[in-house]
Chains A and B, each alone.
Chain A
Amino acid sequence: EAEVAQSPRYKITEKSQAVAFWCDPISGHATLYWYRQILGQGPELLVQFQDESVVDDSQLPKDRFSAERLKGVDSTLKIQPAELGDSAMYLCASSTISYEQYFGPGTRLTVT
């Protein structure tokens, strides 16, 4: 069964450092989402791509976060500089034109 891949699974970084997460969606899924899940809460959308174009980045803190999906396949989410409040699970999801979003295993970020 096809799955969304994410790496790394865990990342520990010091504040003010740069960190990057990678996501490879299910093959053929044109839509890719990055969500952030703070412990004890539900995920919240950071950015959505349709192919290589950003559809929604209204909740992305653009002063420190950036996301790209250059060839419309895999995607990278970057944080620079990381802050203590960025500690969370970063989840990637993908979908076709249907309303079914499939999530990857996530990257657990700890900022010290």
Chain B
Amino acid sequence: GEDVEQSLFLSVREGDSSVINCTYTDSSSTYLYWYKQEPGAGLQLLTYIFSNMDMKQDQRLTVLLNKKDKHLSLRIADTQTGDSAIYFCAETLSAGGGNKLTFGTGTQLKVEL
């Protein structure tokens, strides 16, 4: 079955690195995603990784995938106050070609000065 779990809160100081973690249960996941949601807004696609990769880097963002442990993480380097938001991990399966995203409950990141 599909289940995506995340911790609810993370607080970091400005300039530090943030690491947001996610676990998923479906080994058939083909793509895994990180979305950012600011208050009252829609979801912004930050990055995604194909399941045959173990790392992807995009500017300040680094995604690590441990497929054996079904663990995904997002590292934000030099975290800024503008990074304060809710971060959602999501997975999609290839079966049926539907590309339905299954989301976690979100991790609220608070960046303190």
Contact = CB atoms under 8 A, between A and B. Distances in A.
Q: Main SS of chain A's interface residues?
A: strand
Contacts of A102: 45
B48 to A, nearest CB: 7
Q: Main SS of chain B's interface residues?
A: strand
A55 B106 contact: no
Name the interface size band of chain B.
20 to 34
B98 interface: yes
B43 interface: yes
Name the interface size band of chain A.
20 to 34
A106 B103 contact: no
A87 interface: no
A31 B42 contact: no
Given A56-B98, A56-B100, 7 more contacts: A41-B105, A42-B105, A48-B99, A48-B100, A100-B48, A101-B45, A102-B45
Interface of A: 4, 6, 31, 33, 35, 40-45, 48, 55-56, 91, 93, 95, 99-106, 108
Interface of B: 4, 30-31, 35, 40-45, 48, 88, 90, 92, 96-101, 103-106
